[in-house]
Each structure stands twice: as structure tokens, then as C-alpha cells.
Structure 1
Amino acid sequence: MRGTDTAFRQMLRHDMAAGLGRAWFFYIPLILAVFFSMAAFYRLGNALMEEAFQPTFADYLLEFFKGMKIYDKNRQEPFRIPSMFILFHLYMAFLVARYPLSDLSGFGRQVILHARNRAKWWNAKVVWCIVNAAVFYLIVLLMAFLFSLAAGRLSAELTEAVNLEVSEVDTSGLDTGLFFLLALLLPFVCSAALSILELAVSLFSKPWCGFVAGAVILALSAYFCHPLLMGNYQMVLRSRAVSFGGVESLYGFLLALALLLLAYFAGRFRFSRYDILV
């Protein structure tokens, strides 16, 4: 037991170092994208608002995580892909496709052969997926904090006028707690579940297949507002609390938990029979 615990700690430390610490430069594009997105929001607000534009910390987060309105093809409106939403989640999927399985050609394979316990390798990679998702959201939080400090107000309260005129989101029915649940907690849980699903799919096929699966879910979620499409729970504008016909947040948590458990055990089962010497 002690040997397997040591193997897990070794692999987890290795994953944090190799997949995060020594791969820090992979997060630079994300930092730049978030920066330019929030800068564009500030410029737009200054152009639209007659009074002094001072968005709060929460306003910056809403703009970034709002996603897109429910698409209704009967209204003959153009389908506009929420570019920042897609890029944020696709880049997260790219990093999941890039690192975990590539570890089998190096340190990970050595530890597995030495400890003879594949479950520890899988568990370490699952933890890495969750931490990687957390880093993405922390970067957005940090950038929103800096922007609200330098070009706005450091407040967790939403500004209804800013939200409606600039972000085009009616937040009159949102209190602070519900907003942070819809904008941060639920999307993060969904991102963690989708990352583990991508990793599991990659074991049954190839890393790029897991990436494609995640991209398809995002694309379908943008076009269809359906409770079984995970991406809808990652957009504030798709919530029932904001839009008529939106999805229920409780179902999102249940779906994410079910998907996470299914992906975890399916991936663990598959890896127990995976040929690591190929």
C-alpha cells in the first residue's frame, strides 16, 4: 500500500511539474486572449455608455462567461459563434490532448512498470485535468480582478445598466451568489468533467479523437439549447435564471457528476488493459 501511495505522489508531482510548471508558456496565449477580450469590453463600454464607464469585477466576469443567447432559427437571425467561449474551452481541450498520454513515453511508463499499479497513473492524470481546468478559470479571475482594479470598480456586485447596455444580458433576476454559481462554479465543474471525458475517449482511440469529441459537444451546445449538451451549462445566457427556455443549473451539476464518474471508471477500466509499450 505504501509503495502504491508513493507511486501516486511521484506521478502527481511529476504531472504538476511537467504538465503545468514546465509547460507555463502554454498558458500565455490564454492570458493574452483574456486580456484583449476584457480590454475590448472596456472600450465598447466607453463607447456605449453616456456616463462614466466603471465596470465591476462581476461585470467583467459576466462579459467573459456570458456565451450566447439561445439560437432560434425561426427568427431568421444570423448564427454568431461566441468566439471567446469557443476558444477558451477548445484551448483547454487542446492542452488535455497534448500532455497526459504523451507522458506514457517517458516518466509515466517507468513508474507504472516499477509500481505495477496503473490506477495510480490514471488517478494522477484525472487530478491534473481538474487542476488544469482550475488554472484556466483562475487566470480569468485574476485578469478580471486586475481590470476592475485599474479600469473599473473592485466589487462583486453586478451593474444592471452595464450588463444590459454593453453585455446585453438582463441580470435583474440574478443575485450575487447565483451569478457566481452560473458563471464560475457550474462551468468549472462541467469543464473538469469534459476534460476527463476527453482523456477517457483518447484511451479508446487517439488523443485527437478526444479533442474532436469535445469540440463537437461545444459546437452542438452553441446551436442547440438542450439539457444533455454540457456546453449550455457553461454559458450564463443559457441559464433559465436569465433566459426563458434556458437550462436548469441543478441538472447541469447532476449531468456533470454523472459524466465525470462515467468517464473516470471507463478510462480506468480501459487503461487497465492499455498496452503502454506500443
Structure 2
Amino acid sequence: MLFRLVAADLRTVLKKNIITFIAIAAVTVANLVYAYGLSSVYGVRTDTLGFADNLALVFAGSAPFEPRPGVMFVPPLGWLFLILLILYTTLDYPTESLHGFGLQALVRCRARTLWWVSRFILVAAVTAFSLLVVVCSVVIWSLVVSSSFSAVVHGESLQLANLAPWFLKAAEADALPFFVGLFLAFEALAFAQAAVGFVLGSSVSFVVLMSSLICSAYARHWALLGNALMLLRWGGIVKEGIATGSSVLFSIVIMSLCLSLGGLWFRRADLIEKGDKI
């Protein structure tokens, strides 16, 4: 029953978010166009950039904000918009699960914990699909600009993102740790959004997640998961950056708390009354 529910909901959510997936692809390409357009401004050669550089540039982010007189904080809008689009694909899903077939499945299976876990399986799958859309868009871009399919991030890509060369820890680095941390951070944020959405509603969860991302753009700290989504904050190639291990561990903790503590709340919640209020 629950397997059928997850499969049916997955098809429904994917169909419902077709326009959002198109927007994700468009913003991905727009971020790359903007980054490559700065090559002449910063005097950076783009012929050395590979697939990993292009994918990392999509999530370049910004350096931590340094308050100075006359300088106003502005978050990296392209980065923020892309992340919010990806998280939007699962924004309304928790509340919608308490209606129709989802509620029927919950009543029939009588296993609230299993039902709760099944919701997060779908959230993880949809988030992974959104990231796959980003990857496919970057693959197409890399083919168009004749980039090599290298798994190495070069210092030139960070210079395109307006990072001074003296902040680089190395001229290049293996990009796999960054992408692993980025993937888990996305899943942790999606899990947190779903858990908060179940308890307080999708509007509150959206505000909480957006506030967290803005705080991440302002300050560098491992507890702000938005830092794990920024190339310019990655400790693998940037001095004083966030270590991948810290962000990965914190992401796993967040996902575990959403499943465990959220599951405890869910087992005691009056879902019939809650479903009527939504």
C-alpha cells in the first residue's frame, strides 16, 4: 500500500512540477551565462574550465559579508533563487499528503512511523530529481562550450565568482567532496522543510528555510547549511572555508532528527483534525 502511495505520489509531484523543473534548468543556464560573461571583466580564461567547474559555478554563492560603511548586504540572488526553486518542488507535499489517497493509506496501514518514513523517501527522490535537472543542464552547457568532463575544480572558476586569488588554498581540487556535501545539504534542507511543513504548515517552512539561506549568505558557519551549497565557502579549495566533513555530519544529524523526533510527533498528532484545518 505504501509502495503504491510513494510511486503514485512521485508521478504526481513530478508532473505537477514540470514548469518548476524548466525554471530550474533556465536559472542554471542563466547562472552559467552570467559567470562566463564575467570572464572578460576579471581577465579569466574559460578554456580550462571543465564540467565540475561549470556545475560548481551554478552554486558559486558569495564570500561572507564584511560590514563596512556604505556597503549594504545583498544575498547572491541567482544562487538563492535556484535553491528556493529546488526546495519548492516539495514545499506543499507534506500538507497534501494528509488528504485523499495519502490519508486513506495512513488509516489502512495503521503504521504511522512507516508512513512518515515513506513521505521522506519521496521528498528525497524529488529533491534528487531536481538536482539531476541541474546536472543535465550543466552537461548540455559543457557540450555547447566544449568543456572537458573533468571532476576537478580549478581556481579560475572561483575567480569567475569574484574571489581574489590569494584566498585560494590550492590551484585545483577534487570536486567530489564538495558535490557530496552539497547533495546531502540539499536533502537535509528538504527534510527540514517537510518536517516543519507537517507541524506548522508550508508557508512557515518556506519562510524558515529562506531565512536560513539568507543567514548563510551573510555569515560563514557550519551550522548554516546554506554554506555547504556555496563553492566560495568550500574549505577544500578556499582558505578558512567550511570543511566538508562538518557539513556532511550536520546534514546527517538534521535528517536523522527529522525522521526520529518528527516521527515521534507524528505518532501522537491528531491528523484528522489537522487535515481538516489545512
Query: TM-score, normalization: structure 2?
Result: 0.86
Rounded to whole Å, the distance in 2 between the matches of 1:20 and 1:224 is 34
Structure 2 residue aligned with 1:124: 118
Structure 2 residue aligned with 1:84: 78
Name which of 6, 23, 28 aligns with 2:22.
28
**Structure 1 residue identity aligned to 2:260:** F
Rounded to whole Å, the distance in 1 between the matches of 2:183 and 2:44 is 35
Structure 2 residue aligned with 1:181: 177
Rounded to whole Å, the distance in 2 between the matches of 1:147 and 1:162 is 18
Structure 1 residue aligned with 2:216: 221
- CA-CA distance at 1:159 after TM superposition: 7.0
SS at match of 1:256: helix
Change (3 A) 1:80 1:190: same
Q: Deviations over 1:99-136 (max 9, x none)?
A: 23212211101111222222232112101111122122
Rounded to whole Å, the distance in 2 between the matches of 1:247 and 1:131 is 26
Change (3 A) 1:252 1:66: same
SS at match of 1:104: coil
> Is this contact kept in 1: 2:228–2:234, CA < 8 A?
yes
Q: Gaps (5+ residues) in structure 1?
A: 1-6
- CA-CA distance at 1:22 after TM superposition: 4.7
> Is this contact kept in 2: 1:48–1:166, CA < 8 A?
yes
Name which of 260, 267, 277 aligns with 1:272.
267
Rounded to whole Å, the distance in 1 between the matches of 2:243 and 2:102 is 40
> Is this contact kept in 1: 2:90–2:123, CA < 8 A?
yes
Determine whether 1:239 maps to 2:234.
Answer: yes
Determine whether 1:248 maps to 2:233.
Answer: no
Determine whether 1:194 maps to 2:189.
Answer: yes
Rounded to whole Å, the distance in 2 between the matches of 1:17 and 1:228 is 34
Rounded to whole Å, the distance in 2 between the matches of 1:134 and 1:67 is 20
Q: Deviations over 1:152-192 (max 9, x none)?
A: 32321557474254233456626553x2321x210110111
Rounded to whole Å, the distance in 2 between the matches of 1:265 and 1:58 is 35
Name which of 199, 205, 208 aligns with 1:210.
205
Rounded to whole Å, the distance in 1 between the matches of 2:116 and 2:64 is 37
* Greater CA drift, 132-141 or 91-100: 91-100
> Is this contact kept in 2: 1:45–1:53, CA < 8 A?
no
- CA-CA distance at 1:246 after TM superposition: 2.3
Determine whether 1:67 maps to 2:61.
Answer: yes
> Is this contact kept in 1: 2:221–2:227, CA < 8 A?
yes
- CA-CA distance at 1:93 after TM superposition: 2.8
Rounded to whole Å, the distance in 1 between the matches of 2:79 and 2:44 is 28
Rounded to whole Å, the distance in 2 between the matches of 1:210 and 1:58 is 31
Change (3 A) 1:68 1:28: same
> Is this contact kept in 2: 1:56–1:148, CA < 8 A?
yes
Rounded to whole Å, the distance in 1 between the matches of 2:215 and 2:36 is 30
- CA-CA distance at 1:258 after TM superposition: 0.9
> Is this contact kept in 2: 1:186–1:233, CA < 8 A?
yes
**Structure 2 residue identity aligned to 1:134:** A
SS at match of 1:97: coil
After TM superposition, the structure 1 = structure 2 runs for residues 24-173 of structure 1, keeping only pairs within 5 Å, are 24-45=18-39, 49=43, 53=47, 55-74=49-68, 77-156=71-150, 158=152, 160=154, 162-163=156-157, 165-169=159-163, 170=165, 173=170
**Structure 2 residue identity aligned to 1:253:** V
> Is this contact kept in 2: 1:233–1:239, CA < 8 A?
yes
Change (3 A) 1:117 1:241: same
Rounded to whole Å, the distance in 1 between the matches of 2:125 and 2:54 is 23
Change (3 A) 1:159 1:105: closer
